[in-house]
Structure formats: structure tokens, C-alpha cells
Amino acid sequence: VVYQARDTFLNRIVAVKLLGEDLRDNETAVKYFLREARAAAALAHPNIVTIFDAGEQDGEYYIAMEYVEGETLKEKINRGLVLDEDEVRQILVQSCKALEYAHDQEVIHRDIKSGNIMSKPDGTVKIMDFGLAKFLRSDLYGLGCTAFECVTGRVPFTEGELAYHHVHTEPPSPSEFNEELSDEMEEIILRLLQKDPDDRYESA
């Protein structure tokens, strides 16, 4: 659960994430929650949401972080937007800079998706929610899924056992859903979505 709050000591607006009541006694959930705080706190990059503080107080586990004006890519897409290809290119460039930096610090996000990438009104991209993987997936593959969703308005797989499809089923070509997509962007997305990590790009 995330709240907008005011840091009364430094007099600034922050975002405060609390672990939900139903998860406080779940050791695995607490471990993931604190792992996110530790992973992200080690990172200082203009395209990664900054962590200010984390801990436990009166039984509440919390992370205080930078408040970002804007909306997630998922929220944009849910408003019926197929994003302009130039905008998607900027999203990819900034996301890759952030991931390359994180990977150099030996931090893997593990859950890159449209709901974890914020877009500010000025076009700046911020990656958030490090360390909260639902299932293990490569960051570059996740970025490919995000780019696919941005240019088509839908995710690569929508029916059946999704985890199975991500591992075994070839994705559709994004140009099937967006005829105006350039060959270059399609090639980038499909390479990011290769099943074998060795067939993807070597690094962000």
C-alpha cells in the first residue's frame, strides 16, 4: 500500500510504501519487502526511484522513497494509448541506462513491466519496485514485454498459462497489432523477447 506523505523533518513530499496488514506475518513477504529496500537503496541513478529510508515501526514495515509526479506506463496504456514510437525509444534508452547501472552494481530487478516504470510529464522515466519478483524473469526480457505493450496496447500473451508461454511460446510480431511500427523497433523488441538469454542483447 503506497501513500503520498510529507517528511516533516526535511519538509518534502515522499511516497511511503507499507507492507499490507495481511502480509505482515508472512516471513517471505517481509523478506521480499526488505530485499527491495536494500537493493534499491544501493542505487543512485536519475532513472531509478530513490529510497530515503526503510524499516519497521510499531509492527509496520515501511519504505520511504522519492515521490514521482506522473503515471506508470501501464496507466498510460490502460487509458487506451498506443505510445508514439519516438516516446518508446526514449523509454527504452532511459530504462536501459538504469538497468545497465543496476546490473553493474550486481542488482537485478527481476520484475520489469509497464506497471513498474513511471513516466514523468517531462518525459523522464523512473524504474521502481526493485526486488519484488513474482517469478524469476530476465530484466531484458521484461523490457521487451514492456516495449511490446507500449507499441501495441496489449501484452504478448493474454490467454492460457502465461508463465508457460513466456518460457516456451514464440511471441506474436508487434507489427500484427501496429502496422505503422518500424522494422527497426520490431527487430529490437523481438530480440529482447528471445527465449534463450544468449540470443538477446549481451547487456542493457
The dihedrals phi and psi of 3, each to the nearest 5 degrees, come to -120, 150
- Positive or negative torsion for Cα 75, 76, 82, 85: negative
Q: How far is CA 114 from the centre of its chain?
A: 6
The dihedrals phi and psi of 123, each to the nearest 5 degrees, come to 95, -5
Q: Backbone dihedral region of 158: left (phi > 0), alpha (psi from -120 to 50 degrees) or beta? A: alpha
Task: Give all strands (DSSP E) within 100-149, no chain letters.
Answer: 117-119, 125-127
Catalytic residue among 7, 25, 84, 111: 111
Question: Which residues are registered as beta bridge partners of 15?
Answer: 4, 65
Residue 111: active-site member = yes
Active site residues: 111
